[in-house]
Structure 1
Amino acid sequence: MTTHDTRPPKPDATPEATPPATSAQKNEPTPNPRRHRPALLVLLLATAALYLWDLGASGYANQFYSAAAQAGSASWTAFFFGSSDAANSITVDKPPAALWPMALSVRLFGLSAWAILVPEALMGVATVGVLYAAVRRRFGAGAGLFAGALLALTPVAALMFRFNNPDALLCLLMVCAVYCVLRALEDARTKWLLLAGVCFGFAFLTKTLQAWLILPPLAVVYAVCAPTALRRRIVQLLLGGLAMVVSGGWWVAIVELWPAASRPYIGGSQHNSFLELTFGYNGLGRINGDEAGSVGGGPPGGGGRGGGGAWGDTGITRLFTSDMGGQISWLLPAAFLLLVAGLVVLRRARRTDAARAAFLVWGGALLMTFTTFSFMSGIFHQYYNVALAPYIAALVAMGATLLWQRRARTAAALLLAGTVAVTAGWAYVLLARSPQWMPWLRWTVVAVGAVAALGLLLSVRLGRRLAVVAAGLGIAAGLGGPVAYAANTVNTPHTGSIVTAGPEVRGAGGRHGGMIIIGGRGPGPGGKGGRNHGGTAGPPPGQGPGPGQGHGTRGGKDHNALGGLLNGQQVSAKAKAALKKNAADHTWAAAAIGSQNAASYQLATGLPVMPIGGFNGSDPSPTLERFKEYVRQGKIHYFIGGGMGGGFFGTKGGGSSASASTSSDITKWVEKAFKKVTIGNSTLYDLTRPVS
């Protein structure tokens, strides 16, 4: 990865593709002296320590995915399909690649919070390492270390690399794909585009179409800038696309060709189709808000001032708002400024210049993702912004390095000083949104940033020593807020479906299902405060959320109804014992409305629990007739009451009324036909003992 291929150019290379012998014009990687390797090791170890710190405090984090990992560890069929339960009633609403590392970890080490979350933390360390390698090759080890540190300390990265949503693996694969494209841009070797295609393919199996957001800018940059003939560039891109289709399509083909009656229902779809899930609920529905089976009501664009409907306002300022700003936007203005600066500095470079191509690749990825996130009208959570973190980190490190090398020029010094001043000023705004949290920090950041900006301006005349001191102060000012946010994040347990990094923010709130959900804190394990958008704390391993979790109220809004969607239920020892009794006589120990409710009992008992209606309780799986048949055959022991009731959230954007009422119909039938009993704090219906 660090050595340059000295082989002669391929015979079909054009004269333009063969760089002159001048070293300044060669697309060669910068040297990687051994003295920098200890610094890289320190960076990776520090990242590992940050992401592994008190990791078990979050318990099973998102129980929806933890239960699927447990199921995959018990059943290879569930592993392959990404089933929510080992008896394979329904899959999660994503493809299964993100579940595979967790399921293998649980199979090897047993079910625990650490077995679930350590693979995510290691993905974070790997992402930092790959980003370092990508930036170092063109801009030096210092820039690579800076980029890696910026990524590691981004608040939303410190959140998601300690959590078990698919975004951690997606982020790693995206950075690997960019690295491969940058390697291909150096000498036009086809193997790097093939590897990039494989990364994109497995990223598709992680989070479907989000993985392909950055494909257009990367393909365009390669088509224009690669150092080989145009015909060969086009053929290489087609081969890379073929590798992507094969690496991502093999699983899709198997699932679509597999007889539907002998595989689990595809969660998140309304017609048991992964292609429908890909292009609907997880695809175009995220863009236009037309998501059949989604939580939240109202027509697309029918709520926010900017047209965001149930998921908040859309528009160019979306990622800077109270909801999003503290997660990702600390260095976003700097990234945009330094992207423009880098392209201006390199405007006269050759078409094949690898440094300019790097700015175009990282910048194109940033702009494409930023624009999509800003204007998409469908489901959008704050933690999605982790996808932007590597692009921002790379551009800031590359642009700052380029300007630093030219700091003797007045224009470069002005740009550096202006970037520091803008970054410090924006950090003040973000920190002021949490006025009771470390109030001194925002004033310190502004003061240090002002001194740093002035020092960078004066360094043109006063020399290198002052410039180095000013640069150090500028870095401190830029990272003061993110470091504090990241520290708060790793010291706070997180659980549930919708989590955020950092402290509580005044005026923050995401709209879900027509009501405002505001991040809350509650007593967590070990006396620490838990944080998510349901006001819950992280459960200890083997248990659901503690008493009162999922029932937080803030700002006068009652969120009790969301407990079954965002979090599971507390599982008492008596309820756990009841489900385990005679469990071998049944396929499913119990059934519950919604995946989170089912997940709590499945994680507590280790037994399959059927999630009726999938994650939202709105999937038509199983039908009432199929459920009755399961009950007649004795395959389900208990029905767990107290869930979402199936029809609370309904469907959005064209979901059928039949699918919306399926879980509600099952609930009504069970309540009428079977006697209710209370065991511990759980309401159960013994489906082997009808009322008659």
Structure 2
Amino acid sequence: MIDTATAPGSGGAPPAAPTRAGRRPATTSGPLRREYIWLALLLVGTGAAYLWNLTASGWANSFYAAAVQSGAKSWKAFFFGSSDWANAITVDKTPASLWPMELSARLFGFGSWTMLLPQVLLGVASVALLWAVVRRHFGANAGLLAGLALAVTPVAALMFRYNNPDALLVFLMIAAVWTMLRALDDGRWRWLVLCGLLVGFGFLAKQLQAGLVLPALALTYLFAGPPKLGKRIAQLFAAGAAMVAGAGWWVLVAQLWPASDRPYFGGSTNNSIIELTLGYNGLDRLGLGSGSGKPGGGGAPGGDPGGGVTAGVDLAAGGDMPQMHGGFHPFGGQAGITRLFNETVGGQIAWLIPAALILLVAAIILRGRAPRTDGKRAALLLLGGWGLVTGLVFSFMGGIFHEYYTVALAPALAGTIGAAGAVVWAERERRWVRAVLVLSVALTALTAFVLLSRTPDFVPWLRWLIVGVAVLAAAGLVLRGGRRLTIATLLAAVFVGLAAPTAYAVETLRQPHTGGIVKAGPATDSGFPGFPGGNRDAQSDPESGAAAPGGDAPGGATDAGGDADRERAGGGGPMGDEKPGDEVLALLEQDGSAYTWVAATISSNNAASYQLAADYPVMAIGGFGGGDPAPTLAQFQRDVTEGKIHYFIAGENHGPGGSSTSEGSKITAWVKDHYTATEVDGVTLYDLTATPKAG
């Protein structure tokens, strides 16, 4: 049997077998130097590409940008993930994903570039770490292929330049896989404990989504770990305890902190981070919970516009959010085995799925007679299991699912391609293995052709070029030949796999993206219209353009569409990402430091825009969708009496996620009854420091 590391075309020196300590013997300096030169080129190229045009998206998702702004000003807001630095309410996630951006803002000042730079660095680090994961058992070239495949995956090119929580989550999941591979090499307790800590910290980035990698981690070690079975089980329990500690320290402090001295946990129904984790960000996501996860019909906080929106629901009018179980899915399409290939999700991630599945099965068969602790097979099981679990969960989850969630699948998919591809390529002299390679190339070309055909005006020639190169690659595999033909065939196969996603990734880098609902690749009219950044990117739809820090909207967008958006919102101002009018901004900035909150408004989308522009805290009543029971009417009245809030900015009576009986609706009614409205820049303001109406 030919070793994958020494096979023609695998490149580099063969990786020596790890010693008991998990370290490799010294190798020749020439091949090792070349390995790191190629790695440096990959990382520099990834970093340069991700940094290019970085500030075009302005504040990106203003919901999280406002939280970063707050964490840069207040350590309490930093710790809890508050939307405002007066600490009224938090975002609807645990806060760790905000911490790198907030530290950057503290060090270099708060702005679009300094906020998004840590996300880019996490992307580059993820590519490097995946290279290390795959190289460990499959060689440097396999690691380069895996790292490159991750870097050019369209959804990765989007989310490693965006301020959603996914960048830190993905990095921590790859880090957990790397530590597990170390544990599989030598069976040491420290690697199991570190793996558990990393998964636990991943919980603090995006809660239960970090658990997608858990089944593969545990089952692979249970099967292939070096110690005896009893010790393996004990080590896994230790890893579980470390995981609980990695997340539990923050949860414990947050839960024990007096509620009167901390912000309300946004997205929860009873001010509990545990309820938020198990409810809205847990069972409800899978479609196993109540469906809405929110009072008054449920709004989706944090960029998720509801627990299942059906056609005809008037969000601006506060219509209840119907359940998604078996019904219409505006985000990511209908649940089912084909979801990852559908119109909206396919272009984000699906390019290499058929090849990865075929190569994974073939590679495991080729390693079938290896010892139980075989490192290559264990790595294949770990990467492939991670991808299978993640893919199946995303395919069948009945709750809220957004296209960009698939970035959590990207490293597993890219790693499987690199690792399994190396094993199968090394055995290509076998007839059935050549048939597997030909089938992989053919299905990859077919997938690219279908996905590219959905955007016929985008590089229309590319799909035909991919088909032509695929024919040449298949011919090279069938004919076989010398070294030159082998290298040409390998390069052709790589082109077939990566050309289309690279084109989508380049288009992603070129475009600005804003709001909570974003997609990579060419702009399409799919998704859910009416939400900021919803069905189009900021470039193709000027009304969804993000206001760049301290300036106009990027990509040529101006405030021309602002008035229309304000009217749709009921006169409440910009929807999520647009800059408020100059007159409104001047009022907010005047004596802004004299108040705890310069203004209050329904929903975090409205509040974030005013806060980012004015640089003073703005209270987001009801959290993201306006449906959270915070503050209550009594609490709001107390804050007004104490002179803590200057203006109330009117808009939707209760926000897109609230209801006519929500606290936001009650607060709005109370303000209208007791204070006089003033129209400024088309926005309805109430001065809460003025004398209330008589009677």
Question: Is TM more than 0.5 here?
Answer: yes
Q: Which moved more, 1:39-48 or 1:310-319?
A: 310-319
Question: Does the 8 Å contact 1:550/1:567 carry over to 2?
Answer: no
Question: Does the 8 Å contact 2:518/2:533 carry over to 1?
Answer: no
Aligned position for 1:426? 447
Distance 2:399 2:563 in 1: 25
Question: Does the 8 Å contact 1:521/1:530 carry over to 2?
Answer: yes
The alignment's TM-score, normalised by the length of structure 1, stands at 0.89
Distance 2:631 2:545 in 1: 31
Percent of aligned pairs sharing the same letter: 49
Aligned position for 2:217? 218
Distance 1:516 1:600 in 2: 12
**Aligned CA distance change for structure 1 residues 62 and 521 (closer, same or farther; 3 Å):** closer
Aligned position for 2:549? 541
Distance 1:516 1:536 in 2: 6
**Aligned CA distance change for structure 1 residues 156 and 441 (closer, same or farther; 3 Å):** same
**Aligned CA distance change for structure 1 residues 364 and 30 (closer, same or farther; 3 Å):** farther
Question: Does the 8 Å contact 2:547/2:578 carry over to 1?
Answer: no
Distance 1:561 1:394 in 2: 49
Distance 1:510 1:561 in 2: 23
Amino acid at match of 1:150: A
Question: Does the 8 Å contact 1:334/1:423 carry over to 2?
Answer: yes
Question: Does the 8 Å contact 1:543/1:604 carry over to 2?
Answer: no
Q: Does 1:472 align with 2:491?
A: yes
Q: Root-mean-square deviation (CA), in Å?
A: 2.7
1:662: how far off? 1.3
Aligned position for 2:253? 254
The alignment's TM-score, normalised by the length of structure 2, stands at 0.88
Q: Does 1:337 align with 2:334?
A: no
Question: Does the 8 Å contact 1:551/1:563 carry over to 2?
Answer: no
Q: Which moved more, 1:439-448 or 1:26-35?
A: 26-35
1:567: how far off? 2.3
Aligned position for 2:475? 454
Instruction: Classify the secondary structure of the residue corresponding to 2:474.
Output: helix
1:333: how far off? 0.9
Instruction: Classify the secondary structure of the residue corresponding to 1:485.
Output: helix
Q: Does 1:442 align with 2:442?
A: no
Distance 1:251 1:340 in 2: 41
Amino acid at match of 1:520: R
1:680: how far off? 3.2
Instruction: Classify the secondary structure of the residue corresponding to 1:592.
Output: strand
Matches within 5 A, 1:232-247: 232-247=231-246
Unaligned runs of 5+ in 1: 10-25, 523-528, 652-656
Q: Does 1:509 align with 2:511?
A: no
Q: Deviations over 1:37-69 (max 9, x none)?
A: 111111100010111001011111011111101
Amino acid at match of 1:541: P
1:678: how far off? 2.5
Distance 1:574 1:350 in 2: 73
Question: Does the 8 Å contact 1:303/1:312 carry over to 2?
Answer: no
1:683: how far off? 2.6
1:311: how far off? 6.4
Aligned position for 2:278? 279
Q: Which moved more, 1:78-87 or 1:33-42?
A: 33-42
1:548: how far off? 5.5
**Aligned CA distance change for structure 1 residues 647 and 238 (closer, same or farther; 3 Å):** same
Instruction: Classify the secondary structure of the residue corresponding to 2:226.
Output: coil
Distance 1:4 1:464 in 2: 27
1:535: how far off? 6.0
Q: Deviations over 1:343-363 (max 9, x none)?
A: 111111111101000110011
**Aligned CA distance change for structure 1 residues 632 and 582 (closer, same or farther; 3 Å):** same
Distance 1:563 1:426 in 2: 45
Q: Does 1:613 align with 2:622?
A: yes
Aligned position for 1:674? 675
1:309: how far off? 8.1
Distance 1:562 1:641 in 2: 7
Aligned position for 2:607? 598
Aligned position for 1:519? 535
Question: Does the 8 Å contact 1:428/1:446 carry over to 2?
Answer: yes
Aligned position for 2:116? 117
Matches within 5 A, 1:301-316: 301-304=325-328, 312-316=333-337
Out of 622, 628, 644, which is 2:631 matched to?
A: 622
1:537: how far off? 2.0
1:90: how far off? 0.3
**Aligned CA distance change for structure 1 residues 671 and 560 (closer, same or farther; 3 Å):** closer
Q: Does 1:481 align with 2:500?
A: yes
Instruction: Classify the secondary structure of the residue corresponding to 1:435.
Output: coil
Distance 1:649 1:504 in 2: 27
1:415: how far off? 1.2
1:366: how far off? 0.6
1:568: how far off? 3.7
1:4: how far off? 7.4
Instruction: Classify the secondary structure of the residue corresponding to 2:515.
Output: coil
Distance 1:127 1:662 in 2: 42
Distance 1:167 1:566 in 2: 23
Amino acid at match of 1:369: T
Amino acid at match of 1:170: L
Distance 1:8 1:539 in 2: 53
Distance 1:29 1:219 in 2: 31
1:177: how far off? 0.4
Distance 1:123 1:101 in 2: 9
1:232: how far off? 1.3
Q: Deviations over 1:312-347 (max 9, x none)?
A: 310000010001000000111111111111111111
Q: Which moved more, 1:544-553 or 1:332-341?
A: 544-553
Q: Deviations over 1:357-406 (max 9, x none)?
A: 01100111111111111111111111000001000101111121112211
Q: Does 1:155 align with 2:167?
A: no
Question: Does the 8 Å contact 2:599/2:649 carry over to 1?
Answer: yes
Distance 1:349 1:3 in 2: 17
1:226: how far off? 0.5
Question: Does the 8 Å contact 2:111/2:549 carry over to 1?
Answer: yes
Q: Deviations over 1:594-619 (max 9, x none)?
A: 11111111111211100000011100
Question: Does the 8 Å contact 2:20/2:186 carry over to 1?
Answer: no
Distance 2:389 2:574 in 1: 31
Question: Does the 8 Å contact 2:166/2:408 carry over to 1?
Answer: yes
